Amino acid sequence: MTDLAWIDTTLAAARPRALGALLRYFRNLDTAEEAFQEACLRALRSWPDKGPPRDPVAWLILVGRNSGIDAVRRGARLEALPDEDLISDTGDAESDMADRLDGSHYRDDILRLMFICCHPDLPATQQIALALRIVSGLSVQQIARAFLVGDSAMEQRITRAKARVARAGVAFETPGVAERAERLSRVTTMIYLVFNEGYSQSDPKRDACAFADEAIRLARLLLGIFPSEPEIMGLLALMLLQLSRRAARFDAEGQIVLLEDQDRSRWNREAINEALALIEKAIRHRQPGPYQIQAAIAALHARAIRAEDTDWTQIELLYRTLEHVQPSPVVTLNRAVAVAKRSGPAEALEMVEQLVGALDGYFYFHGLRGNLLMQLGRNHEARTAFGRAIALAQSPAEAAHIRLQLDRLKADAETSLG
């Protein structure tokens, strides 16, 4: 780390708390952002000579608040302002502010900030973009590159998202227990959306790949302020387990390597061990939720030294539990995979055929259906299913994987004719 790199690291770590507090104060996202940016600029000018303050977050809140108030004074002189003694920047005021901003303030500020980004009026792509811009502090250019769109298009997307949130209104009062639970559920969903946007990338050079790491950072932040929430533990464990396989998921040509064919020595054992410890801690709360169940399924894969050691019976039971907790045709599709491993393709295909109405536009449905048909020797039907899967593929790697299955069918046909 260079002499001044610590400043960037400190500002990035402080951003959610400081920006969340400024948002509560100004009740306007643009004003809060501008105030935080001004505080960062002053930090870059002041900290190299004077060193970091005792509480960087409180310092940024204080300086940002004063800066924002000055801007409000200049732009709207009739705006009501707090008492002068609360906004004075004389002396070592940040230490006093740190005393006044207790843990519950920070917790609700960060939750509110994340909640804005996952507002139900926003489509998933806007939720991801807004979270990466507001909470993570990525530039519009960085986010645009990751989504493979132009800077102006991404700027418009983020601006529209902010406008929609502003029109919908945001509750700034401290949420009650029930509302906090609802907010947490939406926030964890948004974080997992960010994770999947990065995890699905096959090209490690794509900017979007870093989203998976950023989602884990956000989950750690959330767990830090809600340390006894088992579903946050489950979410973090699930993402750690999935990301532990990153190095083995694609071959040198960028082709998908199925879980059963992956080189398990390349899995990140440190991440796996952390995830397993989180799962054990979450289970002790006896409040099972969707992320905990999915993490438990991923843990069974992680514990299997070889693919043939996988406990598919237990995995199928866990998917049954997940179907009960969070019914979804995609969950049933995943259970069908476990059934195929445990009982064979015929029983699994019966399950899959019942999902055609719900999942006809889903790549993995047709990929699994084609694979099961191929195992049963129904090659003509398998080719049709694989053709549909290619049409629905979301990445070159997915399309290439299905083409390999079609090549196998072609080779088998040529062998039988020969």
Confidence band (pLDDT; 50, 70, 90) for 223?
Answer: very high
Interval 256-269 mean pLDDT: 95
Dihedral Cα 16, 19, 25, 29, nearest 10 deg = -110
| CA 68 to centroid of chain Cα atoms | 31
**Distance of alpha carbon 75 from alpha carbon 65, whole angstroms:** 15
Q: Over the chain, what is the mean pLDDT?
A: 87
Say if CB 199 and CB 212 are below 8 A apart: yes
Say if CB 135 and CB 218 are below 8 A apart: yes
pLDDT for residue 412: 75
Does residue 205 carry a pLDDT above 70?
A: no
The per-residue pLDDT for range 315-341, each reduced to its tens digit, is 999 999 999 999 999 999 999 999 999
pLDDT for residue 36: 95
**Distance of alpha carbon 147 from alpha carbon 155, whole angstroms:** 12
Q: Terminus-to-terminus CA distance in the chain, angstroms?
A: 64
User: pTM, whole model, 2 decimals?
Assistant: 0.84
- For the record, the structure tokens of 139 come out as 């530039």
Say if CB 228 and CB 285 are below 8 A apart: yes
Strand partners, 250: 256
In 3D, which of 234, 359, 225 has the Cα closest to residue 295? 234
Say if CB 248 and CB 262 are below 8 A apart: yes
- For the record, the structure tokens of 340 come out as 């195929």
Give residue 101's identity as a one-letter amino acid code: L
- For the record, the structure tokens of 110 come out as 């960060």
User: Higher-confidence residue: 243 or 27?
Assistant: 243
Confidence band (pLDDT; 50, 70, 90) for 183?
Answer: confident
Domains delineated in the chain:
5-101 (1.10.1740), 103-226 (no CATH), 228-306 (no CATH)
- Counting Cβ atoms within 10 Å, is residue 216 exposed (0-12), middle (13-18) or buried (19+)? buried
In 3D, which of 350, 315, 353 has the Cα closest to residue 334? 315
Say if CB 274 and CB 309 are below 8 A apart: no
In 3D, which of 270, 93, 274, 291 has the Cα closest to residue 189? 291
**Distance of alpha carbon 236 from alpha carbon 241, whole angstroms:** 9
Does residue 122 carry a pLDDT above 90?
A: no
3-state class of 26 per DSSP?
Answer: helix
pLDDT for residue 50: 86
**Distance of alpha carbon 132 from alpha carbon 150, whole angstroms:** 16
